[in-house]
Structures are given as C-alpha cells and as structure tokens.
Amino acid sequence: MKRLYTIIMALATLVVSANNIEAQTGEETALVVSLAEGSSMTALQFNLSLPEGVTLTTSGDTYGTTLGTATDGHTLDVETLSNGDHLFILYNREQKAFKSGELLRIPLTAGSTATEANGKLYSVRTATADAVSHTCAEVSFSVIVPIKQCVTPTISFANGKVKVTCATEGAKCVTSIVMAENQTSEDGEIDVSPAFTVSTYATAEGYEDSEVVTATFSWPKTAGDLNEDGHIDISDVTTLVNIILGK
C-alpha cells in the first residue's frame, strides 16, 4: 500500500507543460515541452496537434527536435499520424527517470496562413520503470502570429508629377489628391499658385494597412518656371515636353 501511495504522489506532481508561441510569418520558432517536477517517470508519449498554417520546420526521423536538460540518455521517436498530427515517444532503455525542466524543443514555422490559434498535446501518457502507466490531461498552448504592417509610403513631387512609393514588397498605394480651396490672407497678399494635398496609404495581402501620410505641394509660383529652379530657361522647355509626353 505504501508503494502504491508513493506512485500516486509521483503522478500527482508530474506536470507536463508547453510554452505559448509568438512568431512572425515565415519565422522559425520552437515549442518547448517541459516537466515541472522530477518524478519516477521514465517515458512520455503524446500526440501533437498544430494550428492551421503552423508546421514542423524540418523533416527526418525526429523533425529536428532536440532533447532538453530534463532528459538523461533518453531516446525520441516521432511518427506522423493519419490525421496529420504527430506522435512523440520519449523513453529510456535504462529506465532512467526524467528530471525537472525542459524535455523537448520542437522547431516550428509559422506560414502565411497562420493566425492566432491554439495547439495541443493530447493522448498524453507516462510510464515508470515498473511499467506503471498514467494518462495525463491535455496540454494546450497558443500560437500568436502578429500581422505585419505595411511600411508608410513616401510622397514626392517633381516635373509636374506626384510619385508615391512603398518599401513593402507587393504593396499598392491608395492615393487621393485634393486641390486647395478658399485661400485667404490678412497681409494684403494672396498666393494664387495652385496648391494640392496628397494623401496615401499602402495595402498588401497578409499585411495591415500602413499609416496614412499626407503632403502638400504647389505648382511653380513663377509663370514658366516649370522645374521650380527659380529660372526660366531651356530646362523648363524640356520639363514641359516631358509633361506632354507623360515622362
């Protein structure tokens, strides 16, 4: 009876846990499976279910999984189940018990479809050197994939053209232009040079929209000074030709 009581107490202190994960799209991270307390357990078995878009990073017999400090000469076997989940079996041929701490570090990658979701270790079972087995509760963990934001676009104006660019690959800039209205003055002078305000933001699949950026520009104040260099010469003619030709 005393021996049975000891085994029950050991099982009660066996707490298997898995860390929550935060990773950017395409970034490699790791799921760490740990043991809160040392015990007489020598083997651990569980099925790993990952959220949509999150995959094991590498292939091979153990999928790149490394053993932690809580193991002591243990061996790891990994199998792919028919439902796509993976079975992990950690055992010791010499029946050495686990220590407390990190058992496994499983490399994972968050794909482009990954979002905030939960994964789990289920069908969790342990065994002692005396072949006493125990079924543990499911272990849940969260995977958070923050959505990147598009880089704020830049706006420039030269040779009669507005140019909007964004450093985010594949981004499109949604741009609007509003002409200035109702110009007033209190010093007796009114600037009649046409002015306009450009507003734009970037958008791309898999990204949050960028911040909106605005800029105000004016056409040349001196009639004929199309390139706004303060002089009227042949270079303004070149600028006019480029405008007409759409360059």
| pLDDT per residue as tens digits for the range 192-246 | 566 788 899 999 987 889 999 998 887 666 666 666 665 667 777 687 667 766 6
What local confidence, expressed as pLDDT, does residue 223 receive? 64
Q: What is the mean pLDDT of residues 32-53?
A: 86
Mean pLDDT check: name the lowest of 42-46, 89-93, 108-112, 120-124. Answer: 108-112
How far, CA to CA in Å, does 84 sit from each of 51, 56, 58, 76, 187? 11, 11, 15, 19, 76
pLDDT score of 9:
33
Listed residue (83, 45, 81, 78) closest to 64, CA to CA: 78
User: What's the mean pLDDT in 178-190?
Assistant: 65
CA distance linking residue 72 with residue 98, whole number of Å? 7
User: Which pLDDT score, from 0 to 100, does residue 231 have?
Assistant: 66
pLDDT at 187: 66
Residue 2 region, left (φ>0) first, then alpha (ψ -120 to 50), else beta? alpha
Q: Which of 68-77, 167-176, 231-240 has the lowest mean pLDDT?
A: 231-240
pLDDT of residue 121: 93
Between residues 182 and 53, the one the model is more confident about: 53
Question: For 69-105, what is the HEC assignment?
Answer: CCCCCCEEEEEECCCCCEEEEEECCCCCCCCCEEEEE
Tens-digit pLDDT profile for residues 19-40: 888 877 778 889 999 987 756 8
- Residue owning tokens 């569980």: 46
pLDDT attached to residue 25 = 74
pLDDT in tens, 130-162: 766 778 888 888 887 777 788 999 998 877 788
* Residue 13 pLDDT level (bands cut at 50, 70, 90): very low
Classify residue 74 as exposed, middle or buried by CB count within 10 Å of its CB (0-12, 13-18, 19+). buried
**Residue 2 has what pLDDT?**
32
User: Of 28, 169, 53, 40, whose CA–CA distance to 106 is shortest?
Assistant: 28
Q: Which domains does the chain have, with CATH numbers?
A: 2-144 (2.60.40.680), 149-245 (no CATH)
| pLDDT for res 120 | 92
